[in-house]
Amino acid sequence: MTATLEMRDFAHRLLIYEAGAGKASEPMDSPTLRVYEKMRQSLNEFVGVAGFLSLATRALALAKREAPSLGTARITADGTLQGLGELEPQLDIDRERAVEYPSSEGGVILIARILGLLRLFLGEALTLSLLRNAWPGEVFDDRSSANGRKA
Amino acid sequence: MSTRDKVAIHQLPTGVPGLDEIVGGGLPEYSFNIIAGEPGSGKTTLAHQFVFANATPERPALYFTVLGESSIKMLRYQQQYTFFDPAKLPGSIRFINLSQVVLENDLGAVLEQITKEVEKASPAVVVVDSFRTMVRKPQSDMDLQSFIQRLALFLASWQATTFLIGEYAEDELRDNPIFTVADGLIWLRQTAERNSIVRKLQIIKLRGQNSVPGLHTFRITNAGVQAFSRTFGLIGHLKDPPSHRRLSFGIPELDTMLGGGVREGDSVLIAGSSGTGKSVLATQFIAEGIRQREPGIVAVFEERPQAYAERATSLGLDLETPQNDGKLEILYLRPLDLSVDETMHSILDAVQRIGAKRLVIDSLAGFEMALSPGFRADFRESLYRMIFALTGIGVTILSTVEVDESFTEFPFSTYSISFLTDDIIRLRYVSIEGQLRKIMVVIKMRGGNHAKDVREYEITSKGVVILGKRLTNYQGLISGIPVRTDRPDSTEEPSQDTGIEHKT
């Protein structure tokens, strides 16, 4: 079973938002890492470090089956994501290109898997409510993706 | 500002149907409460209901989860309840997981973390769930007591109404410093009795206001916890002024036997064996009420409402039209595992919904059988409370009860509930001239005159029809096997009792 198109669309939108969110003068982490970190910090409060760790570990395991390029990625004991760097575009070099292609396929799938697990356990409404702390409303309000699917 | 002014304690709605009545109007604002009980008793659900009922973006709720049920699973299940509004997260309600702090640090660090979050959010409501898991870690008594007192003091100062949720057994109630500090202690119990689960809650302690004492039934449905007060929510309802009005059965001869009809606000019992026409009389009573513009409720347990209405139609009584007009409700109450208080609340809700003046319970035996076995022991006591509550607001209640027909005895009720009734009408078979005929007699009318006559009646297409005058040419009618005497049938008017209450 692969990450659903809905979740991939939603993940893609979060990644696009993060790719364009940083100040141009500052170097930034990859959008995948930024999205992941925001989720981690937002959800840590709610589920605790151990809760997020188990969720992220499961999501990464699922994502690796779809994207072998994630093979080097791992979740540390405090829930942070490591080993993703070489897969992501160098955003501090070409920010415009980053918005167009914000993340590797593996990054999209990993974020989609986390979102998918949250939706599976909590439902869409509650998942979106919990993520509203981390992202502005327009990311959630404009739910239609470029190809017309709903996240 | 006056030196004589007392502080007014604002009460917060609990969000739990029926619980406000039990706690005396709502929970005191800024109070420090404990919700205790065994696993699965509904503690977390009750706390969620309070949180969702009171949290606002301006005065949010902080819900601290500790060890035990994971937050994700908790919300996965809690969102199934109808009170759960996802839009309230995270603006009005924030869930904060403290498990890491609890695992890695002492109670001081936990207090520090709670303090930090409370100072940041200035919440109206704080919940710590489950508080018990936090204090199971080895701590000295002094540590725990100090922690509780500091937490209670801090949260009250920050104007938060607080709930600590804990899994406690009843024998832990004594000498526990947590319970000493708490302003309110809500205890939830669930016990298995035969094949049924019986849930009860008790307000063991609530400072500053009067709660309804005793054990109250509660149920957990898709709407969350619903409590059923032992007072049926009728506290504060003033008793209607004593009424001298008499309510008619629509059977003139019976009304005469009753001294003009049933006194308004009385509880009437019709007792008789199977086929003596108890339900027919009850139907005539309710139909006459409709005719007199007195809305009515019929609670049936032994047949479905449609069948009940069709049988009334066969007697020339229209129960369909008043149902459509909202003047009559026929309640069919036969779900398994029903508690007596829930059943009675269904009846009370209907009474209040249509402003019923007459209530028929047909029959008490069916009512008892519809209850969960665990609640049958409480049947008489609960029935007493309901009758007292309803007649207190002017509703006239007619109950039917089947009694074993005996040709040597004349029991009023196998349920020993005669004391619950103001008036008793007894129906029975008698063997006369090779026929099984029916007689009725008014046994008791509390505070009123009634006929002493034994009258023969028949059940016809027009319902119960009382025949002729009183039967004076038989002796031993109430034994069921009368002996004919030489006296002719009476031509006298019905003789009235002196009004002195019969001892039953």
CA dihedral B311, B314, B317, B323 (to 10 degrees): 50
Tell which residue, B259, B257, B256, B247, has the closest CA to residue B284. Answer: B247
Cα separation, B434 vs B402, in Å, equals 24
Cα separation, B236 vs B227, in Å, equals 18
Query: Do the strands B215-221 and B224-228 form a parallel or antiparallel pair, or are they unpaired?
Result: antiparallel
Cα separation, B38 vs B36, in Å, equals 7
Rounded to 5 degrees, φ, ψ at B456 are -85, 145
* CA distance, residue A137 to nearest chain B CA (Å): 13
Cα separation, B279 vs B263, in Å, equals 20
Asked if B94 and A45 come within 8 Å (Cβ–Cβ), the reply is yes
When scoring A126, A127, A132 by the number of chain B Cβ atoms within 10 A, the one with the most, hence best to mutate, is A126
Asked if B75 and A129 come within 8 Å (Cβ–Cβ), the reply is no
Tell which residue, A86, A73, A91, has the closest CA to residue A36. Answer: A73
Q: Is residue A2 predicted with pLDDT exceeding 90?
A: no
Q: Which residues of A touch B100 (CB under 8 A)?
A: 48-50
> Is A100 or B61 the better-scoring residue by pLDDT?
B61
Q: Which residues of A touch B75 (CB under 8 A)?
A: 122, 126
Nearest to B89 among A48, A50, A130 (CB): A130
Asked if B87 and A125 come within 8 Å (Cβ–Cβ), the reply is yes
CA angle B402, B408, B413 (to 5 degrees): 25
Q: How far apart are the first and last CA of chain B?
A: 60
Q: Which residues of B touch A121 (CB under 8 A)?
A: 72-73, 76
pLDDT tens across the length of chain B (504 residues): 566 678 888 999 999 999 999 999 999 999 999 999 988 899 999 999 999 999 999 999 999 988 666 788 888 999 999 999 998 988 899 999 888 888 888 888 888 999 999 999 999 999 998 877 666 555 555 577 788 888 898 998 899 999 999 888 777 777 777 788 899 999 999 887 766 778 899 999 999 899 999 899 899 999 999 999 887 765 555 555 556 789 999 999 999 999 999 999 999 999 998 899 999 999 999 999 999 999 999 999 888 899 999 999 999 999 999 999 999 999 987 655 567 777 778 888 888 899 999 999 998 888 887 776 666 677 887 788 888 888 888 899 999 998 877 666 656 555 666 667 889 999 999 888 888 899 999 988 887 788 888 899 999 998 999 987 777 787 777 777 777 776 665 555 555 554 444 333
Tell which residue, B293, B323, B291, B290, has the closest CA to residue B306. Answer: B323
List, as own/partner pairs, every contact residues B190-197 make where C-beta atoms lie below 8 angstroms and the sequence separation is at least 24, other chains included: B190/B37, B190/B38, B190/B40, B190/B41, B190/B42, B191/B374, B193/B372, B193/B373, B193/B374, B194/B373, B194/B374, B195/B373, B196/B336, B196/B337, B196/B372, B196/B373, B196/B374, B196/B375, B197/B337
ipTM of the complex in this document: 0.73
Given this model, what pLDDT does residue B203 score? 95
When scoring B66, B72, B81 by the number of chain A Cβ atoms within 10 A, the one with the most, hence best to mutate, is B72
One DSSP character per residue, B60-97 reads -EEEEE-SSS-HHHHHHHHTTSTT--GGGTTTTEEEEE
- Alpha-helical runs (H) found in A67-104: 95-100
Tell which residue, A49, A67, A142, has the closest CA to residue A107. Answer: A67
Structure tokens that stand for B301 in this block: 């347990």
A44 has a chain B CB within 8 A of its CB: yes
Cα separation, B21 vs B231, in Å, equals 9
Asked if B94 and A126 come within 8 Å (Cβ–Cβ), the reply is no
* CA distance, residue A112 to nearest chain B CA (Å): 18
Given this model, what pLDDT does residue B416 score? 61
Overall average pLDDT of the A24-51 stretch: 83
* CA distance, residue B185 to nearest chain A CA (Å): 27
List, as own/partner pairs, every contact residues B173-182 make where C-beta atoms lie below 8 angstroms and the sequence separation is at least 24, other chains included: B173/B204, B177/B141, B177/B144, B177/B145, B177/B148, B178/B34, B178/B131, B178/B135, B178/B144, B178/B148, B179/B34, B179/B205, B181/B32, B181/B145, B181/B148, B181/B149, B181/B152, B182/B32, B182/B33, B182/B34, B182/B152
Which tens digits make up the pLDDT trace of B224-262? 999 998 877 655 555 555 567 899 999 999 999 999 999
Q: Which residues of A touch B73 (CB under 8 A)?
A: 121
Nearest to B72 among A51, A128, A129 (CB): A51
Asked if B97 and A46 come within 8 Å (Cβ–Cβ), the reply is yes
Q: What is the pTM of this model?
A: 0.73
Given this model, what pLDDT does residue B14 score? 97
Amino acid in position B397? I
Whether B53 and B39 have beta carbons less than 8 Å apart is answered as: no
Q: Which residues of A touch B61 (CB under 8 A)?
A: none
Residue length of chain A: 151
Other Cβ atoms closer than 10 A to B289? 26
Question: Which residue on chain A is closest to B99 by alpha carbon?
Answer: A48
A47 has a chain B CB within 8 A of its CB: yes
Per-window interface: A 94-123 vs B, CB < 8 A: 121-123
Asked if A122 and B90 come within 8 Å (Cβ–Cβ), the reply is no
Cα separation, A115 vs B394, in Å, equals 59
Q: Which residues of A touch B99 (CB under 8 A)?
A: 48-51
Cα separation, B63 vs B94, in Å, equals 6
Cα separation, A42 vs A125, in Å, equals 16
Cα separation, B53 vs B110, in Å, equals 27
Tokens 């151990």 identify what position? A50
Which tens digits make up the pLDDT trace of A42-58? 898 888 888 899 999 99
One DSSP character per residue, B107-146 reads HHHHHHHHHHHHHHH--SEEEEETHHHHHTS---HHHHHH
Whether B187 and B55 have beta carbons less than 8 Å apart is answered as: no
Cα separation, B428 vs B225, in Å, equals 46
Cα separation, B15 vs B61, in Å, equals 14
- Residues contacting residue B219 through CB under 8 Å, at least 6 positions apart: B199, B225, B226, B228, B339, B342
Helices B141-157 and B107-121: crossing angle in degrees, nearest 10, is 0
Nearest to A48 among B75, B89, B99 (CB): B99
Whether B29 and B158 have beta carbons less than 8 Å apart is answered as: no
A129 has a chain B CB within 8 A of its CB: yes
Asked if B90 and A49 come within 8 Å (Cβ–Cβ), the reply is no
Which stretch of A77-81, A110-114, B373-377, B459-463 has the lowest confidence by average pLDDT? B373-377
A45 has a chain B CB within 8 A of its CB: yes
Question: Which residue on chain A is closest to B101 by alpha carbon?
Answer: A48
Amino acid in position B325? D
Nearest to B96 among A45, A121, A123 (CB): A45
